[in-house]
Amino acid sequence: MKLIIEHLKKDFKEVKVLKDVNFEFEAGKIYGLLGKNGAGKTTLFNIIYGELEKSGGKYSLEENGKLSDINYEQVGMLFSENFLPDFLTGYEYVKFFNDLNGQGQAPDHYLDLMAFSQEDRHRLIKDYSHGMKSKLSLLSIIIGKQKIILLDEPLTSIDVVMAAEIKKILKELKKDHILILSTHILELAKDLCDEIVILNDGRCIPFEHLKNDEDFESKIVELLREDKSGE
């Protein structure tokens, strides 16, 4: 299974954010999408997620050698900010989402997967930490069985223990999903991602160097500095 992007463009009036994005993202890997602030990482995600119209190009899903247009129900996105119904408990939210998607597993099965304690799963979401909300948002993607998972700065403001739990879950999910993670934290990309992709000057560039390269960070920084467009 692959997400194939061809000559994708996005303009905001006179500003060309995505100029010519070409890339193939395949299941079985976690891709780290790196770029400076304003490079277009969130813009690219929002187009794939169906929140923004593209200005040109195309993107499609390949399964078993056949190409098809992306149904936006196939795409899940984990935002840096979580948008959850604060008036529900974690259990009630998972039950609602579970019933909506017609899943056979009980809500406790999914809450166990994310290591929610019995006490926490029956607390109101408004009292959850940022990390707990991120885990709940990720659960909604797992329950919805989205084939493409976009993670926009998912581990921002999460403590070390919670981050370790989420990283473990993502490594399991990559087997059957296309996972793309945008981050500005180079150490996270190096630790978690199987491949690094640089979004620079409106284009995607594969980062060919090995992650155990001692110059990993300096080479990425140098690549990002090469953008002379000022966008």
Residues 6+ apart with CB under 8 A from 147: 1, 27, 61, 74, 75, 177, 178
24 domain-assigned: yes
97 domain-assigned: no
159 domain-assigned: yes
Count of structural domains within the chain: 1
Token couple for 83: 């948008």
30 domain-assigned: yes
128 domain-assigned: no
**Cα(138)–Cα(78) distance, rounded to whole angstroms?**
7
60 domain-assigned: yes
How high is the pLDDT of residue 169?
82
Token couple for 165: 């739990």
How high is the pLDDT of residue 171?
86
Q: Which helix (H) or strand (E) holds 203?
A: strand 203-206
List, for residues 201-211, the tens digit of each pLDDT value: 899 988 866 55
CATH number, domain containing residue 170: 3.40.50.300
How high is the pLDDT of residue 210?
54
Q: Counting beta carbons within 10 angstroms of the beta carbon of residue 15, is it exposed (0 to 12), middle (13 to 18) or buried (19 or more)?
A: exposed
Backbone angles phi, psi at 121, to 5 degrees: -70, -15
198 domain-assigned: yes
The range of the structural domain enclosing residue 8 comes to 2-84+146-225
How high is the pLDDT of residue 81?
72
pLDDT < 50: residue spans in the chain = 228-231
182 domain-assigned: yes
List, for residues 18-66, the tens digit of each pLDDT value: 999 999 999 999 999 988 888 889 899 999 998 899 999 999 999 988 9
Question: For residue 99, what are the CA distances in angstroms to 32, 95, 103?
Answer: 33, 6, 6
Beta bridge partners of 196: 32
Question: For residue 30, what are the CA distances in angstroms to 8, 21, 65, 104, 150?
Answer: 21, 19, 21, 28, 10
pTM, two decimal places? 0.82
How high is the pLDDT of residue 11?
93
Half-sphere exposure of 25 (CA within 13 A, CB side): 31
Q: Which helix (H) or strand (E) holds 49?
A: helix 41-49
Chain-centroid distance, C-alpha 206: 17
How high is the pLDDT of residue 60?
94
How high is the pLDDT of residue 231?
40
Smallest CA-to-CA distance from 144 within 90, 183, 100 is with 100
